[in-house]
Amino acid sequence: MDELLKKIKKHLELRRDSNKTFFDKQNYEVKSLVREDFISLKETTPKKKFFFIDGGNQDVLFSNSYSLSYNKVCAASFEDNKRRVDKKTFFVLSVLEAKDEKLTYQIYSDDESLEFFVDANDSSLSEKSKRANPQRISSLAREVAEISYAKKICDENTDSVIVLDGVLLANNEHKKNVLESLYLCAAKNNNVVCAVAKTSGLVTSTATPLSQKLSSLTDEEVWAYELATSKHEFHKATIYLAKLHPRSKHAFRFEILRNQKSAAQEVLSGLLAYSKDPVFYGYPYGLIVADDSARVSNHEVDVIRTKTLAKLRNDSAILSSLREVDAHQILDNIKF
């Protein structure tokens, strides 16, 4: 262990300086990192209403060929110092099916707008050339539901800011189509679409953490920096790193629809007013509320599972299918 710790220290000491962010230059226009290009942020009373969107889910029943999950999506908003949380709950069933000599996942839901199918071997949904598992497909359905809920908020409001949790990357065709419908609505209703990611993973071209590099270039207590703009159709975003509170130990990845980048400074300055909660300085409080409201607890899903299994007590086919778990899942449940 001591030798490995020494290697970590040596790795950190040998890292070279760089003024470039590590992005795929074929798909992104990348900006150099220079002191003069920081974006000045000053807290203002937001002129636009902010909506913060997040979702959560847990499996109720699952086997190697299907997953039944319980889902929540929430929108937190604030007006006249009053907090409002709108919530939607629904079930999603992802089923592996053989169609035309191909394996696909059919997604069913008690929300019919969420019914679609995807290729089970879609590389964006699987790892190590393996077929995607049903739980991953259920999570995709929840991600689509979050964007659809943002579209609903967009339809009902004008001159607002919609903040999604995560990034604006559409890693498959169906998610791309749902995002496109949100973007069209935003243009129609003069709404801004953006996203804040809890973690960024961004580094310079020599693997130095980007937040560390940018912090060394400025004395400002709060700041933002434009890093890159995507050139491809699955990621219509301009990407920033932003520190939104003087006491924050984190700078967060912020993305805005690339044809709305002229609004980035106003939106980021508006976010300063929501990023003061001592629970997580610098992270927008609206996303903390949305995350908490959308979280599906173990207790919730245990109650639903117990009631569901009670209904199935005489259904030997479904009960038998629940034993179709792989060895990893069995070992994960063993308490040594």
3 pLDDT exceeds 60? yes
Report the percentage of the chain scoring pLDDT > 70.
Answer: 90
287 pLDDT exceeds 60? yes
Report the percentage of the chain scoring pLDDT > 90.
Answer: 54
pLDDT of amino acid 214: 85
The tokens of 119 are what? 């290729």
Map tokens 């929501």 to a residue: 274
CA dist 169 to 186, 197, 256, 284, Å?
A: 17, 11, 11, 20
pLDDT of amino acid 113: 82
Q: Please say whether the beta carbons of 171 and 137 come within 8 A.
A: no
Banded pLDDT at 329 (limits 50, 70, 90): low
pLDDT of amino acid 335: 55
The tokens of 176 are what? 């791309």
pLDDT of amino acid 87: 94
What is the tens place of the pLDDT at every residue in 296-325?
999 999 999 999 989 888 887 787 777 766
pTM: 0.89
* d(C-alpha 331, C-alpha 326), whole Å: 9
CA dist 125 to 119, 235, 311, Å?
A: 9, 16, 32
Least confident of 67-71, 171-175, 225-229: 171-175
| DSSP H helix total and E strand total for the chain | 9, 11
Q: Please say whether the beta carbons of 214 and 33 come within 8 A.
A: yes
The tokens of 257 are what? 């629809």
* d(C-alpha 31, C-alpha 34), whole Å: 9
What is the tens place of the pLDDT at every residue in 220-259?
999 999 999 999 899 999 999 999 999 998 899 999 999 9
336 pLDDT exceeds 60? no
Q: Which residues are within 8 A (CB) of 269 and not within 5 positions of it... i.e. 6 or more apart?
A: 41, 42, 43, 44
Query: 109 - beta bridge partners?
Result: 92
Q: Please say whether the beta carbons of 207 and 21 come within 8 A.
A: no
Give the mean pLDDT of 30-43.
89
Least confident of 161-170, 216-225, 266-275, 285-294: 216-225
The CA-based angle 299-300-306, given to 5 degrees, is 85
* d(C-alpha 66, C-alpha 334), whole Å: 22
pLDDT of amino acid 206: 66
Q: Please say whether the beta carbons of 64 and 324 come within 8 A.
A: yes
* d(C-alpha 134, C-alpha 243), whole Å: 37
Instruction: Transcribe 251-290 into DSSP letters.
Output: -EEEEEEGGGGGGHHHHHHHHHTT---TTSTTS-HHHHHH
DSSP assigned state of 127: S
pLDDT of amino acid 334: 62
Phi, psi (5° rounding) for residue 162? -105, 120
